């Protein structure tokens, strides 16, 4: 089943990014049909699960170290 994505107003770079992601998802889907791969195999898996608060705290500390607030 064909699907379309409305890219009206997106820059060429954003369109290329979307096309790349769609290509990776399609490839993952093809591989999954052949084996037991998942989308996580494209991007890796986190060793430790973190909450949104943990990630926000990490970002806050990093921004402070760069002199941003």
Cβ-Cβ contacts under 8 Å for 7 (sequence gap 6 or more)? 14, 15, 18
Give Cα 46 to chain centroid, integer Å.
Answer: 13
Mean pLDDT, rounded, for 2-12: 79
- The predicted structure's pLDDT at residue 25: 81
Q: What is the pLDDT of residue 17?
A: 87
pLDDT in tens, 8-66: 888 889 888 888 888 888 877 665 555 665 666 666 666 777 778 888 888 888 888 88
User: Full-prediction pTM beyond 0.85?
Assistant: no
């Amino acid at each position: 089943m064909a699907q379309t994505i409305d890219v009206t107003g997106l820059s060429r770079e954003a369109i290329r990014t979307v096309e790349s992601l769609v290509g990776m998802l399609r490839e993952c889907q093809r591989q999954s049909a052949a084996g037991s791969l998942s989308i996580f195999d494209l991007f890796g898996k986190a060793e430790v699960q973190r909450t949104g608060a943990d990630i926000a705290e990490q970002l806050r500390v990093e921004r402070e170290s760069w002199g941003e607030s």
